[in-house]
Amino acid sequence: MKKLTHIDEAGKAHMVDVGAKDDTERAAVARGEVKMKRATYDLVAAGNMKKGDVLTVAQIAGINGAKRTSDLIPLCHPLLLTHISVQLDLDADLPGVQITASARLRGKTGVEMEALTAVSVAALTVYDMAKAAEKTMLIQNIRLVEKRGGKSGDILNE
């Protein structure tokens, strides 16, 4: 059985010491969706939400979320991201918003949590921006789709 890295010999949670690890290029991509009723989708698409431009505000929120991941998730290391992008695309077939976040850095630990946090915060912001029109939106399918670099190697999860 694999040893759990965030548990010490006494079974208590602790932050992993990554000091001895080499700096390497690391990247991650995460995705998720916000599913909504057609009427809500139409308001978002037309830019007619009372709070303003849903997609732009959610994009900025996702970027900020990635940068604050270690403040939100207790055992995550604070990272110096070299790149974070959050893309929100309207999807008429869902109907709703598809969210993709990618994060990169050169460092000792991966950026999966930053990409996942970016998607999560962007999705929550879409919900917040559109909740006046609909409170039954679904935030769904938040997942890691790609990870590159580090000891565990590359993962593609499409």
- How many Cα atoms within 13 Å fall on the side-chain side of residue 116? 16
- Residue in 25, 8, 36 with CA at minimum distance from that of residue 98: 36
Q: Which of 42, 89, 128, 154 is catalytic?
A: 128
128 included as an active-site residue = yes
Q: Strand, helix or coil at 146?
A: strand
Residue 132: HSE in the Cβ half-sphere, 13 Å Cα cutoff: 9
CA 66-131-70 angle, 5° bins:
15
- What is the C-alpha separation between 130 and 100, in angstroms, rounded? 19
Residues with catalytic function: 128
